[in-house]
Amino acid sequence: MSNLALLGCRTLPRTPDAVLTALAASPDGYLSGTPVGLGDRLVLNREDFVYDAKLSPDAKVAAVSRLGSKSFHLALHDVTNPPKLRSDTAINPLEFDVDELEFSPDGARVATVSRDGALRLYSAQTGKLEAAWLTEEPLVSVGWHPSGELLALGSAKGLITLVSVPQLQHVAELRAHTDEVRAVAFTPSGELVTGSWDKRLLVFTLADSTQPQLQVRTHVTKKGGQVLFRAVLDRSASATVALDTRVPMIVVKGALAQAAGIDVLALTQTVQVATAFGNQLAKVAKGRVLSIKNLTLENVDVAVCDACVPPDAQAVLGGPALQQLAIVFDESSAEIVFTANEGATGVSVASAKVLGPARSFSFPAAVNDLSLDARGLVAGVAFSETKSERTKAVYDREKKKEVEPEREWDCGARVDLASGLVLEKMYGHRGVVASVGISPDGKTLVTGGWDKKVVLHGAPTATDEDYGWAVRRVRFSRDGRWVVVAAWTPQNPLNNHLSDPAAVVYEVIYREATVGLPVPRGTSVKE
């Protein structure tokens, strides 16, 4: 085996073979040491605007969120030389950014979140959609609990939501931030770390609820004279629901019933439902479940009738179900408050988990991204004095090729999660530092910025990589051997239409590396 890794005209010493052999013999281990630079690279995509790219826990598969010609896609690549495209799945219409994706701890699934408010789960083997769950707010960040049984979602409006897996049921929520929640990540002990444009890092503990909640609040919109909110039918099909006390029962459209697994053709019982166009005969599905966040209506009857549901909704909540609930509209927050009436049967309102604020750290700059070391003790944080928001002013500066001035808080940083102390600030970018990856041993940062650069900090050589446009994401692999990069890239309209690399995997070259072991999942960690 050669002891040199080549990239362009640069020559780097390889990570010693004995260290790589020891790493291969320790499936949960990671490289620890001083990086020399970024070595050989595998180009996964050089055609698209890539929003996110992550490596599976074993670093054998790369997941890429890319903007295609008509929609966003989730592309799965086998990390081989050359890379092999495993699957490429359309996600949603292109006007809704798919801001982040994450592999589950076992590598079996990929979770994606997007600004259409959807959480989606895909098979990491086939790219097939396994489940979807719609929220009431645009989603911009997602993280897996180390158990693989919970997901944390961060919204563009500061809301943190916990969702169970694989059922995708609402578990808990807290509006903890006042701006976009740009990153969420769990420590090995199960603490949740969140970072936001509101210039704060927050750390939460998760605990089982000791008291059932008496009510739930859900955001509403008013459209076409209807009050609309989100609900889930049979714990599987999410929908927009209208309130109407005149309707004798819950009514759903046929497509929603089918999405919930109801065999409409097999239904035999019918009911008359009054509409603006006269009475309609609708089939009835008995014994269903309707969930509004963590409020559940059990054993309810549902009528299936397309003509009975307003155009902007997929279902109507009415009839006996409404009689079990007290409903109050909170004008100040544009929310409906649902409370179970005393003596109501088949109604449960409970929270399985409680987000307990543990620590709060404020900084002089916006938090654009964060990642955690293997022990969950140190966070790599991407800061900038202006938040990483793509505005017309930003595009105009880029078109004019204006160089941003150096600013104190346009940097990557290592932050102690126990105290909030900034251990080290690392520079190398002009303007927004959009993303950061921290090595598993917590000693090294890699950062990406809107100055079209990727910087591996602390390496004596080969530290900078240039891209065609803004870098969106950088991350170390779980074992520290690789770095994956996602970038926007302007397409070349001539010849083969290819352009600068948009999704790349680099080998990280170390000097005097050793193999470290992570803290077991679910174990508390101390310095």
pLDDT tens digit sequence for 297-322:
989 999 999 999 998 899 999 888 88
Please give the CATH architecture assigned to the domain spanning 215-349: Beta Barrel (2.40)
List pLDDT tens digits, range 344-385: 888 877 666 789 999 999 999 999 999 999 999 999 999 999
Answer left, alpha or beta for residue 266, where phi above 0 means left and psi between -120 and 50 means alpha. Answer: alpha
Is pLDDT of 516 > 90? no
Q: Does the structure show a pLDDT above 70 at 496?
A: no
pLDDT at 350: 62
Q: What is the mean pLDDT of residues 448-455?
A: 94
Per-residue pLDDT band for 456 (boundaries 50, 70, 90) equals very high
Question: What value, to the nearest 5°, has the Cα angle with vertex 176 and ends 352 and 133?
Answer: 55
Q: How far apart are CA 456 and CA 242, in angstroms?
A: 52
Q: Would you say 484 and 474 are in contact if contact means Cβ atoms under 8 Å apart?
A: yes
Report whether 189 contacts 373 (CB < 8 A).
no
Q: What is the pLDDT of residue 498?
A: 63
d(Cα 373, Cα 477) in Å, to the nearest integer? 11
Specify whether the CB–CB gap between 29 and 441 falls below 8 A: no
Query: In this structure, what are the phi and psi dihedrals at residue 325, rounded to the nearest 5 degrees?
Result: -125, 145
Do 215-349 and 4-209+354-516 have the same topology in CATH?
Answer: no
Rounded to whole angstroms, how far apart are CA atoms 511 and 527?
25
Residue ranges of the domains in the chain?
A: 4-209+354-516, 215-349
Per the DSSP assignment, residues forming a β-bridge with 285 are 302
Between 516 and 128, residue with greater pLDDT:
128
Report pLDDT for 448: 96
- Residues 184 and 154 sit within 8 Å (Cβ to Cβ): yes
Per-residue model confidence (pLDDT) at position 167 = 80
Q: Residue 495's pLDDT is what?
A: 59
Which amino acid does the sequence have at 105? P
| Residues 196, 182 contacting (CB under 8 angstroms) | yes
Confidence of residue 264 (pLDDT cuts 50, 70, 90): very high
Q: How many residues does the chain have?
A: 527
Eight-state DSSP code of residue 81:
S
Task: Kindly list the distances between the CA atom of residue 371 and the CA atoms of 110, 128, 161, 436, in Å, as whole numbers in the listed order.
Answer: 18, 27, 19, 7
pLDDT in the model for residue 110: 98
Mean pLDDT on 381-397: 88
Q: How confident is the model at residue 491 (pLDDT cuts 50, 70, 90)?
A: low
Burial 134-145 (b: 16+ CB within 10 A, else e): bbbbbbbbbbbb
Give one DSSP letter per residue of 458-485, joined into a string: T-SS--EEE-SS-EEEEEE-TTSSEEEE
**How is domain 4-209+354-516 classified at the architecture level of CATH?**
7 Propeller (2.130)
Which pLDDT belongs to residue 278? Answer: 78
On average, the pLDDT of the chain sits at 88
Per residue, the 3-state secondary structure of 4-60, as one string, reads EEEECCEEEECCCHHHHHHHHCCCCCEEEEEEEEEEEEEEEECCCEEEEEEECCCCC
Does position 116 have pLDDT exceeding 60, yes or no?
A: yes
Q: Where are the beta strands (DSSP E) in 403-458?
A: 411-416, 422-426, 433-438, 445-449, 453-456
User: Model confidence over 130-151: pLDDT tens digits?
Assistant: 988 888 889 999 999 999 999 9
Which residue's entry shows tokens 């699957």? 87
The pLDDT of 398-402, averaged and rounded, is 80
pLDDT of residue 402: 81
Residue 198 makes CB contacts below 8 A (sequence gap 6+) with: 158, 177, 178, 179, 366
pLDDT band of 394, cuts 50, 70, 90 = confident
Lowest mean pLDDT among 7-11, 246-250, 260-264, 400-404: 7-11
- 273 closest CA partner among 262, 264, 284, 288: 284
Q: Which residues of 332-369 are buried (b: 16+ CB within 10 A; e: fewer)?
A: eeebbbbbbeeebeebebebebbbeeeeebebebbbbb
- Tokens 């009510």, located at residue: 215
Give phi and psi for 467, each to the nearest 5: -125, 170
